[in-house]
Structure 1
Amino acid sequence: MSIAAYLREIGRGKDGARALSRAQAFDLMSQLLDGQLSDLEKGGFALAMRIKGETPEELAGFMDAVVPRTLPLQAPSSAIVLPSYNGARKLPNLTPLLAGLLAREGVPVLVHGPLTDATRTTSAQVFDALGWAVATTPAEAERPWSQQRPVFMPISALHPSLAQLLALRSVLGLRNSGHTLAKLLPAVPGALRVVNHTHPEYAISLGDFLNQTGATAMLLRGTEGEPVADARRLPTLKCFVNGVMEDALTLEGEGGSLAKLPDLPTEIDAATTARTIQAMLEGHQPVPEPITRQVQSLLALRQRLH
């Protein structure tokens, strides 16, 4: 079945394009994920949506198609999901630190994303350097969770068809809707999601999506696109419970000039990052205060899942 009718709606440029309904978005994404579209149609969709931008209703429809095609996972208790798709470019990737701090509190933590990136240090590489589990099946995730260890799962195992959509970036040179969907993916049923954005305008659209879909999640401007708070200064942590932002749980970001820089390495390679994280987890080096506050906020928010 052709998606030409949908492309005519979304492909008229930033000002002329019209949004799809939730049902139309579901149908389009279902065809894409099931391999029913040509490469030309996939490219047309990716570029059209990149120019137009997704509405919350379109994201909800896309997600309606994405969720049933996700590898089924079952955590022993309410999990926290950390999407890790950007990696480290200038600062150490401390997403595994956040995962480790939460896991030692007895929380099943799933980190998902790519295994490698040509220009960045991925969470998967840091996990490997720490000797932590990289799982590709539900059974492989169970043992680390039982040992209070976080689990990393590559998107290629968690959602192969979504991984193929992400792979269009290497051909087109641009991100597409798949990257937004990956960061919103409810990878474990009933989990608390940490949703991060890089550009301020996404704070609005992603917040609207969380509201419209009744999600329990934390929304923040991530560190270089990662779901961990900036070690230098606390960003605003918006906490949503069943789609409603809770002022009592939300933490306002820090302003003004930095009074003190945390003790972080200048190197961002996986081995150096792993040594730093291990030192923090063992108490030999202080955990940056913004990350400690993020952990506390997530634990409080997780209580609202019960």
Structure 2
Amino acid sequence: MTLAIHVRTLGRGPGRSRSLTQEEAEDAMRLMLSGDAAPQAVGALLMLMRMKGETAEEIAGFAHAAQSAMPEVAGVALDWPSYAAGRTRGAPWFLNAARQVADAGHPVLLHGWNGGDDTVRAGLPAAGIAMANTADQATEVLARDGIVYMALETAHPALYALLRLRAVLGLRSCINTVCRMLNPGRATASVQGVFHPSYRLLQADAAQLLGWRSLTVIKGGGGEFERHPGKDIAAFGLRNGQPWQQAFPALSDETRRLKEDATDGDFESAIVAGTADLAFETLGQPPLAGAAE
């Protein structure tokens, strides 16, 4: 089977085209990751999906194929993707929140690529988080430290190549969402940030199709899973494998933007505590003693 079959399904025209089934999407992703698909067909498929909007079945199929194409990172309790480009964010305080979760005994796998912005990776040393280049290295570091950041470009080069097609096509594609749904550790719990609120339900529905148990998706700081303490937030996802959503009130009266430069003060402490609390809630655990409520 060639990718052209799936392009035809998506592009037959009004009244004849349709979305891919989950099984078709999984096959299409396998073909794209194999390197054997014609580049014209890859671009056509991604842009046809961009035009119509991806479905949960398509994202689930793509994500499962992408996950199956790489080794598992063992021992992960919480999956934490980081794929925002960083244009509207400041310091990556969410890294400190992830560190708190790991220090409480819940191994955390951060994985990602942030375009040309190096803010997240530059912040790893200060948060005490080591970076791994492969899934095997990530497993070793996770067993040692309880937390690790895995670089997508070296851990999954084929998926990274599809993500980088944005520079060729000039538009975001569904691969951005697929990366957030990659879950390299096959964890039953995940926390995800999005920049566009419409993706919260899409990712939750795809996660349910994939059999995940617990997921929290928020419109976070710069598109990361990072809670703004001065704003009410709406969270979507799964609890015990079933659709879930909940509103969380603001934790602070401060309303300044996360992008503003600041030192480690009360507002920044509230970012870390609030973000960590949401992660603990996703894991079915109480917040740390003394954390913001």
Q: Note closer, same or farther for the CA distance 1:142–1:57 as it changes in structure 2 (3 Å cut).
A: closer
Of 189, 198, 217 in structure 2, the residue corresponding to residue 201 of structure 1 is 198
Kindly report the root-mean-square deviation, in angstroms, between the aligned alpha carbons of the 2 structures.
3.1
Q: Note closer, same or farther for the CA distance 1:145–1:129 as it changes in structure 2 (3 Å cut).
A: same
Q: Note closer, same or farther for the CA distance 1:146–1:62 as it changes in structure 2 (3 Å cut).
A: closer
Which runs of structure 2 are paired with 1:42-53 in the superposition (5 Å)?
Answer: 42-53=42-53
Which runs of structure 2 are paired with 1:40-79 in the superposition (5 Å)?
Answer: 40-75=40-75, 78-79=76-77
Question: How far did 1:161 drift?
Answer: 1.2
In structure 1, what residue type is equivalent to 2:282? Answer: L
Which runs of structure 2 are paired with 1:102-121 in the superposition (5 Å)?
Answer: 102-114=101-113, 117-118=115-116, 120-121=117-118
For the pair 1:266 / 2:250, whether they are aligned, the reply is: no
Offset from partner CA, 1:156-196 (integer Å, 9 cap, x none): 23322111110101111211121111011121023411133
In structure 2, the partner of 1:179 is 176
Question: How far did 1:214 drift?
Answer: 2.5
Of 287, 292, 306 in structure 1, the residue corresponding to residue 270 of structure 2 is 287
**SS across alignment from 1:19:** coil
Question: How far did 1:80 drift?
Answer: 0.9
Residue pair 1:6, 1:20 contacting (<8 A) in 2 also: yes
Residue pair 2:88, 2:259 contacting (<8 A) in 1 also: no
In structure 2, the partner of 1:224 is 222
Offset from partner CA, 1:94-120 (integer Å, 9 cap, x none): 231221121111221111111x533x3
Higher strand proportion: 2
**SS across alignment from 2:6:** helix
Residue pair 1:19, 1:55 contacting (<8 A) in 2 also: yes
Q: Which moved more, 1:159-168 or 1:225-234?
A: 225-234
Residue ranges of structure 1 left out of the alignment (5+ in a row): none
Distance 1:121 1:232 in 2: 26
Offset from partner CA, 1:30-61 (integer Å, 9 cap, x none): 11011111221111111111111111111222
Q: Note closer, same or farther for the CA distance 1:5–1:142 as it changes in structure 2 (3 Å cut).
A: closer
Distance 1:220 1:13 in 2: 35
**SS across alignment from 1:74:** coil
Distance 2:136 2:33 in 1: 25
Question: How far did 1:3 drift?
Answer: 2.2
Q: Which moved more, 1:198-207 or 1:164-173?
A: 198-207
Residue pair 2:188, 2:212 contacting (<8 A) in 1 also: no
Q: Note closer, same or farther for the CA distance 1:98–1:41 as it changes in structure 2 (3 Å cut).
A: same
In structure 2, what residue type is equivalent to 1:260? Answer: E
Residue pair 2:56, 2:202 contacting (<8 A) in 1 also: yes
Residue pair 1:235, 1:254 contacting (<8 A) in 2 also: yes
In structure 1, the partner of 2:82 is 84
Residue pair 2:56, 2:203 contacting (<8 A) in 1 also: yes
In structure 2, what residue type is equivalent to 1:100? Answer: R
Distance 1:30 1:62 in 2: 8
Distance 1:263 1:33 in 2: 39
Question: How far did 1:130 drift?
Answer: 4.6
TM-score, normalised to structure 1, is 0.80
Distance 1:15 1:234 in 2: 42
